[in-house]
């Protein structure tokens, strides 16, 4: 791998974290360059601009998801098992690269997508509809339009993925989050934890009041995650430079 390729990988990692943590509009090219440890002008040796950069990342995420659909479709099992394998692949990928799954499934920036990105997303959707249609043919999917059931399946998967991504973010090095948000969440989590400790201590929840214990654990986890975020923001040595297996935007001409 050349130095230019390593630089591109750092830019991809930095942009993925910032786009998915701060959003497209609040992510600037100077911020991407700073996080990647390069000059801002280096970005334009690899990408035409911020929106084109975003679209390349989106398409790479869509290709990752599309490959999982094709791999599941090629299995010598029934449609129900293929959909189950696809779901497992999506969750496994989200565990490895949360930002990739978040960019394609959770965040919505339809107005920013170019025609090529829209086409890639449509191809993914059509491949899922094809699996659903196979399920209808063998009776494992209830009667109804394949596109409707595909929409339902994807909506459920997206909701579960969104919840899983919150868990993954809490259990691994967090992406870049503005420190002011981390401070606010840490204070909120700390105050909530203190109140629940007092509440549980005065009136311990019984078997039917397990929600108190669950709330306490959740509040402590939120407080811990926020404090951890303030200390661990940035690209760790193991992340830069490195090959990102689930993201491989088509390399362009760069120097």
Please tell me the pTM assigned to this model: 0.65
Asked if 79 and 138 sit in the same domain, the reply is yes
Number of compact structural domains in the chain: 2
Instruction: Give the 3-state secondary structure percentages of the chain, helix then strand then coil, rounded to 5.
Output: 75, 0, 25
Tell me which of 56 and 181 has the higher pLDDT: 56
Asked if 148 and 212 sit in the same domain, the reply is no
Cβ burial of 114 (10 Å; 0-12, 13-18, 19+) is: middle
Asked if 89 and 186 sit in the same domain, the reply is no
Asked if 137 and 220 sit in the same domain, the reply is no
Rounded CA-CA distance 244/238 in Å is 11
Rounded CA-CA distance 156/53 in Å is 29
106: CB partners within 8 A, 6+ apart: 158, 161, 162, 165
Among candidate residues 138, 153, 174, the one where a domain is terminated: 174
Asked if 169 and 205 sit in the same domain, the reply is no
Task: Print the domain residue range for 195.
Answer: 179-230
Q: Give the range among 42-51, 98-107, 182-191 with minimum mean pLDDT.
A: 182-191
Residue 61, pLDDT above cutoff 70: yes
Asked if residue 98 belongs to a domain, the reply is yes
Cβ burial of 229 (10 Å; 0-12, 13-18, 19+) is: buried
Q: Give the range among 45-54, 109-118, 174-183 with minimum mean pLDDT.
A: 174-183
SS3 172: coil
Asked if 105 and 163 sit in the same domain, the reply is yes
Residue 114, pLDDT above cutoff 80: yes
Asked if 65 and 161 sit in the same domain, the reply is yes
Query: Mean pLDDT across the stretch 111-139?
Result: 89
Asked if 90 and 202 sit in the same domain, the reply is no
Asked if 135 and 183 sit in the same domain, the reply is no
Residue 208, pLDDT above cutoff 60: no
List the CATH number of the domain containing 169. Answer: 1.10.357.10
* Band (95; pLDDT cuts 50, 70, 90): confident
72: CB partners within 8 A, 6+ apart: 82, 83, 85, 86, 89, 131
């Amino acid at each position: 791998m050349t130095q230019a390729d390593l630089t591109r990988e750092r830019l991809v990692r930095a942009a993925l974290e910032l786009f998915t943590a701060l959003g497209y509009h609040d992510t600037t090219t100077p911020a991407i360059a700073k996080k990647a440890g390069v000059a801002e002008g280096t970005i334009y040796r690899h990408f035409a601009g911020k929106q084109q950069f975003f679209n390349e990342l989106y398409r790479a995420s869509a290709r990752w998801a599309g490959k999982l659909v094709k791999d599941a479709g090629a299995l010598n099992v029934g449609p129900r098992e293929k959909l189950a394998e696809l779901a497992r692949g999506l969750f496994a990928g989200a565990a490895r690269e949360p930002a990739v799954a978040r960019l394609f499934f959770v965040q919505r920036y339809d107005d920013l997508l170019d025609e090529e990105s829209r086409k890639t997303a449509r191809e993914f959707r059509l491949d899922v509809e094809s699996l659903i249609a196979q399920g209808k043919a063998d009776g494992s999917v209830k009667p109804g339009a394949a596109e409707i059931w595909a929409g339902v399946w994807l909506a459920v998967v997206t909701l579960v993925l969104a919840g899983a991504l919150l868990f993954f973010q809490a259990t691994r090095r967090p992406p870049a989050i503005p420190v002011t948000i981390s401070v606010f969440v840490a204070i909120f989590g700390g105050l909530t934890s203190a109140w629940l400790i007092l509440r549980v201590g005065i009136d311990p929840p019984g078997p039917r009041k397990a929600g108190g214990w669950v709330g306490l654990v959740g509040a402590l986890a939120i407080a811990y995650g926020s404090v951890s975020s303030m200390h661990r923001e940035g690209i760790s040595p193991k992340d830069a430079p490195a090959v990102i297996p689930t993201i491989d935007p088509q390399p362009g001409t760069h120097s």
